Structure 1
């Protein structure tokens, strides 16, 4: 499954139609959630049936394509199913009780309600929202795929415009020659990662670099009158700056992961829980700026694509234990050099990377934490295709055409 993304071009009337469709999706999703809260024992099929009731009672809901309404109901059910799963698994802390959506940025169609032009350079939406024909601009070749392979079409609103995404059912596996190499990776804040061979990749710190510019645009937003057109323009400019930084971070993680996977038969890395790490408010900004989560997802994606082995190991004591004799050498975060009685003297991260690789080779670990058939950026896809519409898909951009 791959995601092909195109920039969409239209006029102001069409953009208003897209915004109206997105608002309707939010209304349907929140209405389904309210029905579930008020009634007991509802299933996903009951929510789908409720979409027809909403269409009869509200003309603006009837103007939206029926499959788009069903996709909105599936978004509500995915949040409900996730809450049930967390309760069954007895996840510590909050279980993620479903909440009403305040901001929605996308509308999703299934295999009806849209039609591609013969040259595949434009798409026409046939519902009554007034979206009509949108021009598509991108580097992907849609003509290679049959319409039956396109399972879902999505319109996403971002700070820099509107995008159309196609979820295409196609095999992405590629076979590579064996590299005869294994590697362990230890991610950090000083360096993006240090491998078991002693090589390190610098941390680009995209957010820290652009933070001065972000503060400038944030001040401009705060000085504008609330509700004014100038404030909306300032908010849009701030949003485009944030979007640029997030794209830089994602592209950096993607390119590094692809290079690492293609060069090694086995890649070992720490099974970190970033959600818990960012609870340290002293390091939260730097951890989020590093993008370890994106890097790990792309490692597993390319590992599946190229047939490489990716292993996530328990990170406990990988920095404290000596990679040569196994003796525990306690050190604080400020101690950057590992010195052991056995004579081993290495950089702290290099020592940890060797321990990670040894642990991966000595134990099974676990492979493939995430399901890697996601829809693209923006809001999460309503469901994973082929999962009986229960499981929530992760949000991840697909490879750029340059790769």
Structure 2
């Protein structure tokens, strides 16, 4: 299996300059190839393949000598990344590729000739870079992607091949349904409620202060760049805190259960509600589901997504009676048929678990309480 591990690296000033120049060369070549591909498609109706883009490099290096600074494999990897971006667009997994900007997160990938020796990461044309290794997995490094964050920190994402086959998926064991919310981040079918830390709200005042200071600096000045870095550091702090919480919670749920069932939420549509957009974005539901999915696959466990239109909150999990309307401000309700009093979120989590188990047992489209549900693409049990 392929697994990626992210480490903080500390290059010297000379290595920093070389990395930044290499990232700039890769970014320029990506934008150049994207622009040329778009123009070629408009004129001829056909785009450029990966090999066509790679064949541009020798001529461009003669015209722009600074393109020879990064390793040649890094620029060839840019062509692969661009072709993958177009493939994702044509298969409707992503939007049309956009140009890379200088002030956003920068990256460059080293696809070969990389080694991790002790506390040093050896990269082509850079030599040994000090790397803070928190854990050293078994296997062989396939590639290394070096990232430069807007706050000026360097990270190395190392892709390992552990040489092991993906574990066989086994659904025998404890199953849990998870309902995501705002008051509580995750409510499980066993009645446990995990609080929502709301890290953005926690640092919102500090972030507003730093952004106010940034807005008062003259554009292009050194003071403005220093203020920009301070804003980026607050954003980085929020991101790290959120990721730490999501990693720990997802690991706990995967370790304790064999089948994990969640709702297939349309977060992109939900944030259009201007009253809840900031809180929904702060929660990180999409990232949480992604973590649950790949961690479950690593452990040979089952990850299932129930369709977003399944009425999990309105159905009584005891008698399957469905109420007609249930506004968001009603957190407790009583079933009119069996008189069972329900906690809205726990009841939804139980229904999500039961629907996931029905989908798993059938392996195809299922119908429950008159509502058609389906497994999402790419779940662990989908047959291809």
TM-score, with normalisation over the residues of structure 2? Answer: 0.85
Decide which of 52, 55, 63 is 1:57's aligned counterpart: 63
Q: Note closer, same or farther for the CA distance 1:231–1:269 as it changes in structure 2 (3 Å cut).
A: same
Verify: 1:360 aligned to 2:351, yes or no: no
1:98 aligns with 2:97: yes
Paired with 1:193 and 1:14, the residues of 2 have a C-alpha distance of 43
CA displacement 1:260-311 (0-9 Å, x = unmatched):
1111121211111211211212111111111111111111112112222221
Structure 1, unaligned runs of 5 or more: 372-403
Q: Which residue number corresponds to residue 135 of structure 2?
A: 140
Task: Describe the shift of the 1:172–1:191 C-alpha distance in structure 2 as closer, same or farther (beyond 3 A).
Answer: farther
Alpha-carbon displacement from aligned partner over 1:365-388 (angstroms, at most 9, x marks no partner): 5377479xxxxxxxxxxxxxxxxx
TM-superposed CA distance for 1:175, in Å, is 9.3
Q: Are 2:150 and 1:152 equivalent residues in the alignment?
A: no
| Partner Cα separation in structure 2 for residue 352 and residue 221 of structure 1 | 44
**Number of matched pairs:** 354
1:202-227 deviations in Å (ceiling 9; x for gaps): 11111111111111111111122221
Asked if the contact 1:23/1:104 (under 8 Å) is kept, the reply is no
- Which residue pairs with 2:118 in the alignment? 120
**Alignment check: 8 A CA contact 2:184 2:194 kept:** yes
Residue 172 of structure 1 and its aligned partner are, at CA, apart by: 8.3
Tell me the alpha carbon deviations over residues 318-343 of structure 1, each in whole angstroms, 9 at most, x when there is no partner. 11222222222111111111222120
Deviations 1:56-80 (A, max 9, x none): 3210112221110011122222222
Q: Please name the residue that 2:363 is paired with.
A: none
Which of 152, 156, 159 is 1:164 aligned to? 156
**Do residues 301 (structure 1) and 294 (structure 2) align?**
yes
Q: Distance in 2 between matches of 1:10 and 1:261?
A: 36
What is aligned with 1:386?
A: none
1:260 aligns with 2:284: no
Instruction: Measure, in 2, the Cα distance between the counterparts of 1:276 and 1:20.
Output: 39
1:287 aligns with 2:280: yes
The one-character-per-residue Cα deviations of 1:107-133 (angstroms, maximum 9, x if unpaired) are: 111114x5x47x433234444xxx444
Q: CA 1:286–1:172 in 2, change beyond 3 Å: closer, same or farther? A: farther
2:368 corresponds to which residue?
none
Q: 1:3 to 1:363 in 2, by over 3 A?
A: closer
Matched, 1:75 2:119: no
Alignment-derived partner of residue 28 in structure 1: 29
Secondary structure of 1:363's aligned partner: helix
What displacement does 1:29 show? 0.3
| Relative contact order, higher structure (CA 8 A, sep 6+) | 1
- What is the Cα deviation at residue 251 of structure 1? 1.5
Backbone CA RMSD of aligned residues:
2.5
TM-score (norm 1): 0.81
CA gap of 1:104–1:248, structure 2 versus 1, over 3 A, is: closer
- Helix, strand or coil: the match of 2:342? strand
Task: Report if the CA contact (8 A) 2:267-2:286 is conserved.
Answer: yes
Selected match of 2:175 from 179, 182, 200: 182
> Is 2:187 the partner of 1:224?
no
Indicate conservation of the 8 Å contact 1:109/1:153, yes or no: yes
Partners in 1 of 2:54 and 2:105 — Cα distance? 19
SS in 2 for 1:14: helix
Q: 2:29 is paired with a residue of what secondary structure?
A: helix
Contact 1:185 1:193 in 2 (8 A): yes
